[in-house]
Structure 1
Amino acid sequence: MRLSVCEFYMFSFISRHRVFAAYLLSLLWLVATIFAFTSVDGRPFTNFWKVLGLIAGVGLVYVLAWTAISRIGCGRIVSLCFQAPSRLQGGRRIALVALVVIYGLVVVIHFSFLGSIPVLEAAFGRSDLAISIIRQNSYFELPWMMRYASDYSLKALGPGLLLLTYYFRSRLFWVVLVIGGIYSVGLFARILPLVLCLPLLVYQLLWRRWLHCAGTCAIMLVMIFSVSQLSSVSIEENDGAATKVERAGWESVSYGLYQRVLIVPGQVMEQWFDYYTDTSSFEHGCAYRILARVMGCEYVHVPSKLYAVYYPDNVRQGMFGSLNAASFMTEYANFGLYGFVLSSLLGGLFFSGVMLIYQGHPLALPMNIPLIVTLMESNFSHSVNSGSGWVFMTLLYLYFIVFNRELGRH
């Protein structure tokens, strides 16, 4: 079956620009969640069209930016630095070992600060609220420096090392997997095993390593189910006393994932749209930490603000949550539809820069997938920094892949 000219160029574009294509796909998923939630809730589809317009804007900016980069010749200059190492030599092998040791030390120090392993403490929890408080305290009770160390380790160092040790066929792969498994399960957030394994899983899928992919999926699902079994309880009232009656099974876990993937993102975005209905409710730049300092206004962390608005009972009981939404919603909360124009510029220009750095390397999409996922529930600056650890992940890529010139001497 022959492809038309249009289909050929489309598939060629997706293959070469797979990172941006994945970002566009994630945005389309958000549109689908808005459609699903508004359909179930009987709402009008006004916000559906707003987000669809944002996607068109991001695509247009990216195409224009990359066309300009290509004509200037920046892509060719960067590609001259590119190497394609298949194994590590000398100092980089030592650096890899050192990073694995640092990763293990972060885990030990984290649990030492807490004085316990949170998942074991949660296993004896009497209610979902008590378990949620244990989960949030496993992060908020840490000193601020340790919080950053935890963020970078969970979201960049662990996943990055797992991917690199697999890519270079290093035996350290199993060490990183054990450390990452203990850390992810120990903090008992269902998303953490996925964060750890996702870059590796994407790489295995792209290169059709089906058996390895099945093994990675099995390990990841076992970790997710273990977390669910240990930390989820159902409560029934018996003469005024709360009693633990049942742990979560596969059915409840599956339903929870369905809600989390297809319904909740659309619901949260609709809640943001409902709150920021007119110019009087917009934050006018104060929802950006740096801009708030420049403008002299008090910084507003919108996810925490809206969580307190929509879930005041939880806040009164000591639970400090965040109503996290896609990155472009922060721009909307600040400037309304003008914020969507800003978000289109940010997304298009940033991912054209990502293409410039990663070119067509096999690790391009795997190492950027955490950023794409994080952009679906956090603001842009946080996602690039500690939210996904993209900066750190990119430094790993530059050091171990792009500037790995030692192979040329052998």
Structure 2
Amino acid sequence: MSLIVSYFILNRVFQNDKLKIPNINLNFNSKLIQWFLFLLGSSLAIGHLIYLGDLPAFSALNVELNTEAVNIRRQITADAETIVNYIASFNMKAFLPFGLLYLLAKKNHKLYWLLLLIGVVYAFSLMQKSYIVILLMPSLIYAIFNKKWLFGLKHMGIISIVLYSLVLVHNPEISTLKPVDETQSHEHVNKTTKQGEFYSIWTSLKNRVLIVPGKTVSSWFDHIPNDLPFLNGKGYRFAQRFTGENYINYAQELYPIMYPDHAKKGLKGNVNVAHFMYDYANFGRKGLVLSGFILAIVFYFIETMFRNNFKFKLSLNLIPLATLSSQALTTLLFSGGWGLLLGLYYLFINNQD
């Protein structure tokens, strides 16, 4: 409710004198931009894989337990330098998807498909199911707007194949990539078993998208403040510099409480939740009001920036908006790459119109 009210007020305040974002006459050559975005995204992706030393997802194909696959995925970021993780995140969530969208808009199909190939291998290798969606969805939405139906079907197929493959990688127990035993080939695997495995994978994806976000929000409400007190600002990492208080990450602290069985196995993780819950964890109901107000400001800024370009507005912002169901707004804007994505649009598309 606070989001709607705040946005309405902002719209009324600026209705006669609309907020204007000035253009910068950079006069970039379109061909130069295309090559810059291609080389930037591809070199960062290849460089990161070289830094890792192998392709983690392919290494995970050789393990037999779910916990082993989870540890391989966790080591991708846990064993890397912080700066490497930030650069990889910016590349996967901003440089690569924006580069693909820009190449598609400029109809540079050769560079587009080459960058797409590199990006798909990179997204699969990092073992995060969301990455393939983040990578291709902007181009997919843009293609649908331009009625490129075959193009859209190809991309939906790529997304589906990568998601299916990653579920198998994460769950070696149900993987159909291995025979049941050394004497059997894939052709002899029971058909009913395969159908059961496919159903299990589909159920896992459906639950992750439709059920888990709401269930997680409910769990946070159950445990805060009953088990963990309101943080009163200590839950904001950026506030640590101003208050001198230690940062407390409830996403980590709630993991062993909500998933005790996983914790007993030695697994560690974050319980990511909708953006407004981070403000609730700090200030209770007042935090929910604050969350709506801040998000309204962000929405109004985006509406102003993309006022005359609905295709790019939806293509570039739909995934970040969906990500708000499982990530803090400040994290999404900065390390999550949304702010960088908006900056790239402002520099290379908005100023070219």
TM bin (shorter chain): 0.7 to 0.9
Matched, 1:155 2:93: yes
1:324 to 272, 278, 281: 272
Provide the rounded CA distance (Å) in 2 between the counterparts of 1:189 and 1:288.
25
The alpha carbon displacement at 1:313 in A equals: 4.3
Identical-pair percentage: 25
2:202 to 233, 254, 258: 254
| Structure 1 residue runs without a partner (length 5+) | 1-55, 84-88, 236-242, 406-410
Residue equivalent to 1:380? 329
Residue equivalent to 2:123? 184
Residues 183-222 of structure 1, C-alpha deviations (whole Å, 9 max, x = no match): 0111222222111111122223334332221121112112
1:94 to 9, 16, 32: 32
Residue equivalent to 2:308? 360
Residue equivalent to 1:165? 103
Residues 360, 183 of structure 1: alpha-carbon distance in 2 compared, 3 angstrom cutoff:
same
> SS of 1:71's equivalent?
coil
Aligned runs of 1:166-315 on 2, under 5 Å?
166-171=104-109, 172-234=111-173, 249-277=197-225, 281-315=229-263
> SS of 2:272's equivalent?
coil
| Structure 2 residue runs without a partner (length 5+) | 175-180, 183-188
Residues 355, 288 of structure 1: alpha-carbon distance in 2 compared, 3 angstrom cutoff:
same
Residue equivalent to 1:136? 74
Provide the rounded CA distance (Å) in 2 between the counterparts of 1:211 and 1:82.
37
Provide the rounded CA distance (Å) in 2 between the counterparts of 1:322 and 1:71.
45
Matched, 1:110 2:48: yes
Residue equivalent to 1:68? 13
Matched, 1:351 2:299: yes
Residues 64-73 or 362-371, more deviating? 64-73
2:59 to 121, 136, 143: 121
Amino acid at match of 1:369: L
Residues 94-103 or 324-333, more deviating? 94-103
Residue equivalent to 1:334? 282
Residues 275-307 of structure 1, C-alpha deviations (whole Å, 9 max, x = no match): 113697111110001223322221011211111
Amino acid at match of 1:364: K
**TM-score, reference length from structure 2:** 0.87
The alpha carbon displacement at 1:337 in A equals: 0.5
Root-mean-square deviation (CA, aligned residues, Å) is 2.5
Provide the rounded CA distance (Å) in 2 between the counterparts of 1:151 and 1:167.
24
Provide the rounded CA distance (Å) in 2 between the counterparts of 1:279 and 1:225.
37
The alpha carbon displacement at 1:69 in A equals: 2.0
Residues 87-125 of structure 1, C-alpha deviations (whole Å, 9 max, x = no match): xx9634223212211222222222222221101110011
Aligned runs of 1:15-26 on 2, under 5 Å?
none
Provide the rounded CA distance (Å) in 2 between the counterparts of 1:351 and 1:398.
16
